[in-house]
Amino acid sequence: QVQLVESGGGLVQPGGSLTLSCAASGSIRSIGTMGWYRQAPGKERELVADITAGGRTNYGDSAEGRFTITRNNAKNTVYLQMNSLEPEDTAVYYCYANAVLWVDGSSWSSPDKYWGQGTHVTVSS
């Protein structure tokens, strides 16, 4: 199994910054792309950003130019640095990881997407 634990959410004023972290642990053989989605009340979940194991990044329209995604492969951790936050950024932020798991000592699973429990980000004065 895989556990993804997010941290760093909270309340911030407009124009402020937050950094989210998401650490994956468990019977992990390898992790490919990791990333962040968010879901605001009454809206669909949308991609914020993702990053491949090799460091190639991709950003959603709302994040381009304001957010930066990075990762530490040795720690199986992905980060989201969010700057110039706006009230429209208020949402629950979910991290995910495409991971291959050890089934036993010599075999492994097919890649699958695993999700964190979500962390709340509120941008308000």
Report DSSP letters for 2-21, one per residue: EEEEEE--EEE-TT--EEEE
Q: How many angstroms separate the CA atoms of 113 and 109, rounded? A: 12
- Name, in order, each residue with C-beta under 8 angstroms of 65's C-beta and a sequence gap of 6 or more: none
Q: What is the pLDDT of residue 71?
A: 98
CA distance 17 to 12: 7
pLDDT, average across residues 111-123: 97
pLDDT in tens, 13-42: 999 999 999 999 999 999 999 999 999 999
Computed on alpha carbons and rounded to an integer, the radius of gyration of the chain in Å comes to 15
For the cut 80, the answer to whether the pLDDT of residue 124 exceeds it is yes
Give the per-residue pLDDT at 24.
98
Which residue in the block uniquely carries the two structure tokens 């097919």? 110
Please tell me the predicted confidence (pLDDT) of residue 104: 85
pLDDT digits (tens, 9 = 90+) for 57-90: 999 999 989 999 999 999 999 999 999 999 999 9
pLDDT band, very low/low/confident/very high, at 105 (cuts 50, 70, 90)? confident
pLDDT surpasses 80 at 6: yes
- Which pLDDT belongs to residue 33? 98
In the block, which residue shows the tokens 């991290």? 95
Residues 59/49, Cβ–Cβ less than 8 Å: yes
